[in-house]
Amino acid sequence: MTEPAAPRHAAVLRYLEHVTVARRLAPRSVAMISDGLLRLEARAAQEGVPLAAVQPHHVRGWLARLHQGGLAPRSVAIILSAWRGFYRWWGREGGITVNPADGVKAPKAPRPLPKALSVDHAVALAQHRTPARPGAANPLRDAALAARDHAMIELLYGCGLRVGELVGLDAQASEGAAGWLDLQDATAHVTGKGRKRRTVPMGDAALQAVREWLAHRGSTVPARDAALFLNRQGLRLSDSQVRTRLREVALRAGLPTSVHPHMLRHSFASHLLQSSGDLRAVQELLGHAHISTTQVYTKLDFQHLAQVYDAAHPRAKRKG
């Protein structure tokens, strides 16, 4: 619902000039701030409250009505940000003493479920090997890079690593290494968020893939860095390079969706939870500090079960 037009307050006009000229915000940002303040003026005018006399309870009530009127939580948050910024500036200008929008929270947006691959698609991706390009100048190097990509995918899906943890792996354990693999012990040692160290078991498929890549690393592909995963120049792969390679491999493997590294982490967690039902173990393997972060995968698991039910149960089909 569109707010009725309201007369523009002198302080509002000065603030819009401030964000346009002094702060040089983008036109779209200025337009969103202007719209938010127009709503503030309209609400205040409807209730006969001067802008300088607005209190936190006014702000909460007006935001609640906007949300109840169908405005999405993100849109309400943008409006609240415009109000808070305006009153903060007005306070510095001496127009008010207390910011009525401080401490007021916007309604929470529903947390989207993580996107995971089906088991069939995840396995198809992990098993895919990129063939050498026809007429390639260096087919041996192409085969080496295909082995590298295969090892990266096996670690992302088989160990649930974040892309930053993957590229942070070194070929050898050392005091300064952010992460490394212990092939004899079949474990990956990584540094996650908050500099937290954790150890994750490696499956046979990941072990075999890493050993195959290591046979090329330093010979077919030069090693000018301590990193486990190198680019063509022998330097540590970046996050963006891993994303690009994964997208290309998924396309060649015939997957119907674009794949990014975190999708493989989601797939690892979801498939493990479907098979084991052990939420605490999945939390430990993912390195989540709080179980509530891991619980999102129980919703994803239920969504999968609901899809199976809808597709298979004779009483699930609804008549149109």
User: 43 forms bridges with which residues in the sheet?
Assistant: none
Indicate the CATH number of 10-92 among 1.10.287, 1.10.150, 3.30.470, 1.10.3470: 1.10.150
When the pLDDT of each residue in the chain is averaged and rounded to a whole number, the result is 88
Residue 28 burial (10 A CB sphere; 0-12, 13-18, 19+): exposed
Are 10-92 and 119-310 in the same CATH fold? Answer: no
Task: Tell whether the model's pLDDT for residue 71 goes beyond 80.
Answer: yes
Mean pLDDT of 139-156: 94
Mean pLDDT of 298-312: 56
User: 236 forms bridges with which residues in the sheet?
Assistant: 230
pLDDT band at 316 (very low <50, low <70, confident <90, very high): low
Q: What percent of the chain has pLDDT over 90?
A: 65
In the chain, where are the structural domains located? 10-92, 119-310
Task: Tell whether the model's pLDDT for residue 313 goes beyond 60.
Answer: no
Position 274, amino acid: Q
Distance in angstroms (rounded) separating the CA atoms of residues 192 and 288: 9
Report, in angstroms and rounded to the nearest whole number, the Rg of the chain calculated over CA atoms: 27
Predicted structure pTM score: 0.62
Mean pLDDT of 5-24: 88
Q: What percent of the chain has pLDDT over 70?
A: 88
Mean pLDDT of 145-149: 96
Task: Tell whether the model's pLDDT for residue 282 goes beyond 90.
Answer: no
Task: Tell whether the model's pLDDT for residue 320 goes beyond 50.
Answer: no
CATH class given for the domain over 119-310: mainly alpha
pLDDT band at 309 (very low <50, low <70, confident <90, very high): very low
Count of all residues that appear for the chain in the document: 320
Point out the residues that are catalytic: 162, 193, 262, 265, 288, 297
Q: What is the pLDDT of residue 295?
A: 76
> What tens digit of pLDDT does each residue of 184-241 get?
999 999 999 888 999 999 999 999 999 999 999 999 999 999 999 999 999 999 999 9
